[in-house]
């Protein structure tokens, strides 16, 4: 296939300025400041301490455990996510849109809430254990998974499966099925067609999505603390402890260097692999490629994948809905009614619905900011080649692989002089959310940009279009659609973000996850039910937002 692509002109590289300036100011500068405090507390670099820290035996254990956990989580997410991505991209079935929108919900739920659902399903008195005891009496062996590595793995897959379904599915839905049909016609088995035709076309998107999942699990913090045993310590947990609890900045800096070094190396190679593996192809409209499953075997397979995915993803969500309805006085909507007014007994100074309004405002702002900056970065990375575009790609991704606490404390020491004293400004909330949302916008667009067939632009040129017009007619609509996938993620990231917001949120501007956290900080059934009701509202908001964005994106025939 043709490997030519329109090279990014020198002027085009200027598009990278806004995203790079944003990252330099709100990511590199704060992180450099806090690292400098740790590495050279009195102006003299103390590299000896870094080496001493790295040489401690617990550091090696922690690094190995972190890598194994993230690697295994990514692998499992791929194994479960790819079949689901296939079904959602290639087939039409009833309720497809709402189901696909629902798969994003776990991605936004705060870990405290997911923890509650998983404890109910995996912890003491879980349904499986109860059933066994009911059937076989007390002799039935106790079944429980909470406090184990298995529980962390299950939760990580639960959280990240949407990344695979949407990022890989985003490309898959546009791949022309005729190549596969031709292979089948020539006698290739379905498995061989998948391996030799589909897989090479999808590889860049899979690497792109898998690296996001890997980074997310490397830096996942709440899941490990909540569901893991007390012995399960990842690098991220240790960095948090050294920074926020012990204020041992030299040790925290040494560990952060280790984490960031590994992440940069991984990103550099994954950027390179994506570039090398990209294949230009004729992309089709998603409604042209999806069809109803044909034949008994295919129907069975699709039904199997769908049922499995839905059970795995929706049972924990159903538990949350059940908990939100079960108030202290029996089942009812009392907890939802309570969201309308401030309860003077709880720790929220405002009625919980304020949290809903604030969350939506921050999410809208984040979507605009991350959407704009992310599209610019995606154009530079997607059309460019070589070290510059790879560098931009790595830098945009890096915040996902950096401890939130390091960035947060970096803000405190770096942004402390006017006019940039933003430390107490609520503007920091959309800024922090944008750091996390940017990679999703960029990675939703880049694989698609790289797959655009050059011959389509040539055809447009032959028909008399100027290069600019050809770009606008051919690339523009494809970019806009891919950008909307990213925008949906940006919105969801902002709705669900918790760690950074907790540090920045003011009492009168609380997001939903922060409100949930505050409610669960006190004992009592009323607090628990209100927190669960807010979680259900968060689920509903996310589903509707994603549905709306999917509708905007449409599935109609592409203009080619």
Can you give the binding site for other proteins, defined by CB under 8 A?
37, 112, 115-116, 119-120, 123-125, 146-147, 225-226, 228, 230-231, 241, 243-247, 328-329, 342, 344-345, 347, 349, 364-365, 368-369, 371-372, 409, 412-413, 416-417, 421, 423-424, 427, 430, 480, 502-503, 505-507, 517-518, 520-528
List all residues 6 or more positions away from 365 whose beta carbon is below 8 Å from its beta carbon: 430, 494
Q: Closer CB to other proteins, residue 244 or residue 465?
A: 244
Cα 17 from Cα 376, distance rounded (Å): 9
Q: Closer CB to other proteins, residue 112 or residue 317?
A: 112
Please state the closest distance from residue 476 (CB atom) to other proteins, in A.
Answer: 9
Determine the longest span between alpha carbons in the chain, in angstroms.
81
Cα 69 from Cα 151, distance rounded (Å): 11
Please state the closest distance from residue 224 (CB atom) to other proteins, in A.
Answer: 9
Cα 114 from Cα 109, distance rounded (Å): 7
Q: Closer CB to other proteins, residue 459 or residue 526?
A: 526
Please state the closest distance from residue 74 (CB atom) to other proteins, in A.
Answer: 24
Q: Which residue has the tokens 């919105």?
A: 491
Give the torsion through C-alpha atoms of 107, 109, 111, 117, to 10 deg. Answer: -110
Q: Closer CB to other proteins, residue 263 or residue 429?
A: 429
Q: Closer CB to other proteins, residue 168 or residue 363?
A: 363
Please state the closest distance from residue 198 (CB atom) to other proteins, in A.
Answer: 33
Q: Closer CB to other proteins, residue 12 or residue 123?
A: 123
In 3D, which of 407, 430, 552 has the Cα closest to residue 486? 552
Cα 377 from Cα 382, distance rounded (Å): 8
Cα 470 from Cα 459, distance rounded (Å): 9
Are residues 6 and 285 in contact, defined by beta-carbon separation less than 8 angstroms?
no
Please state the closest distance from residue 136 (CB atom) to other proteins, in A.
Answer: 18
In 3D, which of 389, 64, 403 has the Cα closest to residue 237? 403
Q: Closer CB to other proteins, residue 166 or residue 323?
A: 323
Q: Closer CB to other proteins, residue 116 or residue 206?
A: 116
H or E segment at 76? Answer: helix 57-90
Query: Peptide bond before 419: cis, by omega within 30 degrees of 0?
Result: yes
Residues in the chain: 560
Q: Closer CB to other proteins, residue 252 or residue 398?
A: 252
Q: List the helix and strand counts (H, then E) for the chain.
A: 28, 2
Q: CB neighbours (10 Å) of residue 298?
A: 14
Please state the closest distance from residue 282 (CB atom) to other proteins, in A.
Answer: 25
Cα torsion 179, 184, 188, 194: sign: positive
Are residues 113 and 515 in contact, defined by beta-carbon separation less than 8 angstroms?
no
Please state the closest distance from residue 329 (CB atom) to other proteins, in A.
Answer: 5
């Amino acid at each position: 296939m043709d490997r030519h692509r329109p090279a990014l002109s020198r002027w085009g590289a200027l598009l990278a300025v806004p995203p790079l300036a944003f990252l330099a100011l709100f990511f590199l500068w704060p992180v450099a400041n806090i690292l400098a405090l740790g590495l050279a507390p009195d102006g003299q670099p103390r590299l000896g301490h870094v080496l001493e820290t790295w040489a401690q035996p617990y550091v090696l254990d922690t690094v190995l455990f972190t890598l194994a956990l993230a690697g295994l989580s990514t692998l499992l997410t791929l194994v479960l996510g790819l079949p689901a991505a296939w079904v959602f991209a290639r087939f039409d079935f009833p309720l497809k849109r709402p189901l696909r929108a629902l798969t994003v919900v776990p991605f936004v739920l705060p870990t405290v809430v997911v923890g509650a659902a998983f404890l109910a399903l995996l912890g003491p008195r879980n349904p499986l254990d109860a059933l066994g005891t009911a059937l076989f009496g007390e002799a039935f062996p106790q079944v429980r998974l909470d406090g184990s590595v298995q529980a962390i793995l299950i939760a990580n897959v639960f959280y990240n499966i949407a990344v695979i379904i949407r990022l890989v599915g985003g490309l898959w839905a546009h791949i022309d099925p005729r190549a596969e049909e031709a292979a089948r016609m020539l006698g290739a088995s379905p498995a061989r067609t998948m391996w030799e035709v589909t897989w090479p076309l999808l590889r860049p998107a899979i690497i792109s999505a898998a690296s996001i999942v890997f980074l997310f699990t490397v830096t996942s913090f709440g899941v490990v603390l909540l569901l893991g045993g007390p012995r399960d310590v990842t690098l991220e947990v240790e960095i948090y402890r050294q920074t926020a609890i012990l204020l041992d900045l030299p040790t925290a800096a040494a560990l952060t260097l280790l984490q960031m070094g590994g992440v940069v190396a991984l990103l550099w190679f994954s950027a390179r692999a994506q570039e090398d593996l990209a294949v230009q192809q004729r992309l089709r409209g998603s409604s042209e490629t999806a069809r109803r499953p044909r034949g008994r075997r295919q129907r069975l397979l699709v039904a199997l994948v769908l049922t499995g995915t839905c059970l795995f993803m929706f049972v924990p969500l159903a538990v949350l809905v059940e908990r939100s309805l079960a108030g202290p006085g029996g089942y009812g909507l009392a907890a939802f009614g309570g969201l309308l007014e401030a309860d003077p007994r709880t720790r929220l100074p405002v009625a919980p619905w304020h949290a809903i309004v604030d969350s939506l405002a921050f999410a809208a702002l984040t979507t605009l900011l991350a959407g704009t900056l992310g599209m610019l970065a995606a154009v530079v990375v997607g059309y460019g080649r070589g070290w510059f575009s790879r560098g931009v790609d790595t830098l945009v991704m890096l915040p996902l692989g950096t401890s939130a606490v390091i960035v947060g404390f970096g803000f405190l020491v770096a942004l402390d002089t006017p006019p940039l004293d933003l430390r107490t400004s609520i503007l920091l909330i959309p800024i922090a959310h944008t750091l996390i949302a940017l990679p999703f916008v960029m990675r939703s667009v880049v694989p698609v940009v790289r797959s655009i067939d050059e011959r389509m632009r040539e055809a447009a040129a032959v028909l008399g279009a100027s290069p600019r017009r050809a770009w606008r007619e051919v690339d523009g609509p494809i970019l806009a659609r891919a950008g909307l996938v990213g925008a949906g993620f940006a919105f969801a990231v902002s709705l669900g973000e918790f760690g950074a917001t907790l540090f920045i949120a003011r009492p009168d501007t609380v997001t939903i996850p922060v409100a949930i956290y505050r409610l669960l900080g006190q004992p009592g059934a009323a607090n628990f039910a209100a927190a669960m009701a807010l979680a259900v509202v968060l689920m509903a908001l996310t589903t509707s937002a994603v549905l709306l964005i999917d509708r905007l994106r449409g599935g109609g025939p592409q203009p080619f």
